[in-house]
Amino acid sequence: MASEQRLAGTLRVYFEDNTFRTLPLKPESTVQDVIESLCKRRASNGREADPERHELLLKAPGPGRTKLRERLLQREERPLQIQEKGGQSAFKFLFREIRQTGHDTLNVEDELTLPLANKDGRLRTGSLELDCDGAWQRCTVALDGESLWHSQVFQDDGAALGGGMARMPLRSAVGVVQGEDEEERVFQLLTRDGTLTWRARSTKARNGWLEELSARLKQVQDVELLTKAENLICEVEARRCDENLSKLEAFDTVEGLLAGGEARDLFLWFLRAQLEQFPSITDESLRSLAAEPSSEAVHFAEEMLPRFKEHPGIQSRLCRIAAGVPGNICWALQESTYFQCQCR
């Protein structure tokens, strides 16, 4: 088979009901080829759909990634090249019948407020009726991983038409319940602000929405619980770090070191090791540092403080003391260098 005739890859094309078909394409395959292929595959009663009455669009996230931008693809464009440049998860191809209305032509470059499917394609769409003050209004509904969307502008005949989508974050929902009358095909979405009552076209469709909503609500609630737990842990750790840092900063002064505990014992060990170099300072004077220190002993301690803090082993142990790390530590002096020996 010649290289120009080899299949270069596949293209996933979505329909308006969010189902899709995967087509094998050649590098030179055009949008016109894709439309004609799909029209043949969607033949009804032996009659193929008219390619001239169908179009292929590219739907990609706009600024902020909360809206979709549509672009009508020209018949001579090559979808595989577009897919290679943008990546398969960055957008999706939509095949639909050309819409003809009495209104002005829709500018497909306009941004539409719509939910965006995640990389797993978890976007459920369909048609439901919403109870609006006792009157059932038909609208388009879309459910993604975080929100429930529904069209909010209606024609007088009850058919949903344009006007953007209203968004209800699933984190504001508290539950979903089935209506009391099985024949009514009704279910209710309970939120913190009130109740939304929906009616599906069939009992099967109603049950499908109930199952999907229940599953996604549980996922959202689980994520919220994990997020709260993580935030609580972060707050506790932040307070602990602040306390440890305050203790460590206190060790920068003689007063802080002599305040008590292991830091004071460590400092006194260090000072006693210097007595041979300072005959005027006695061991009794050092002991007074823990109670009522003499001015001579305080001066000596302040003079030794920089050398005390420069010792790597002492720095390490002071950090552990500030962090509350337990340990029974003894310090020995050997050739003017301290070595840390942890008694286990």
- Asked whether the beta carbons of 118 and 92 are under 8 A apart, the reply is no
33 pLDDT band, cuts 50/70/90, is very high
Asked if residue 105 and residue 138 are part of one domain, the reply reads: no
Examine the fold and report which residue of 93, 112, 131 is the final residue of a domain before the chain moves on.
112
Examine the fold and report which residue of 246, 272, 295 is the final residue of a domain before the chain moves on.
246
**Mean of the pLDDT values across residues 155-180?**
70
Residue 80 pLDDT exceeds 70: yes
Tokens of 192: 């913190």
**Exposure string over 183-206, b if 16+ CB within 10 A, otherwise e:** eebbbbbebeeeebbbbbeeeeeb
Asked if residue 124 and residue 239 are part of one domain, the reply reads: yes
231 three-class SS: helix
Q: Taking the chain, what is the end-to-end CA distance rounded to the nearest angstrom?
A: 76
Asked if residue 240 and residue 126 are part of one domain, the reply reads: yes
Asked if residue 52 and residue 126 are part of one domain, the reply reads: no
Q: How many structural domains compose the chain?
A: 3
CATH of the domain at 58: 3.10.20.90
Nearest-5° Cα angle at 22, 20 to 24: 160
Residue 195 belongs to domain spanning: 119-246
Asked if residue 255 and residue 221 are part of one domain, the reply reads: no
Residue 336 CB-half CA count within 13 A: 5
φ, ψ dihedrals at 28, nearest 5°: -90, 0
Residue among 144, 126, 162, 149 nearest 196 (CA): 149
Per residue in 276-285, pLDDT (tens digit) is: 777 777 777 7
Examine the fold and report which residue of 217, 246, 275 is the final residue of a domain before the chain moves on.
246
Q: Which of 20-29, 129-138, 179-188, 242-251 has the lowest mean pLDDT?
A: 179-188
Residue type, 63: P
16 pLDDT band, cuts 50/70/90, is confident
CATH of the domain at 193: 2.30.29.30
Q: DSSP letter at 291?
A: S
Asked if residue 242 and residue 257 are part of one domain, the reply reads: no
Per-residue pLDDT, 335:
34
Asked if residue 105 and residue 170 are part of one domain, the reply reads: no
Asked if residue 317 and residue 266 are part of one domain, the reply reads: yes
Asked if residue 280 and residue 210 are part of one domain, the reply reads: no
Single pTM value for the model: 0.43
Residue 113 pLDDT exceeds 50: no
Residue type, 67: K
Other Cβ atoms less than 10 A from the Cβ of 31: the count is: 21
Asked if residue 275 and residue 176 are part of one domain, the reply reads: no
CA 196 to chain centre: 27
Q: Which of 24-28, 72-76, 111-115, 172-176 has the lowest mean pLDDT?
A: 111-115
Whole-angstrom distance, CA of residue 133 vs CA of residue 232: 42
Asked if residue 166 and residue 226 are part of one domain, the reply reads: yes
Asked if residue 142 and residue 226 are part of one domain, the reply reads: yes
**Exposure string over 315-334, b if 16+ CB within 10 A, otherwise e:** eebbeebbeeeeeebebeee
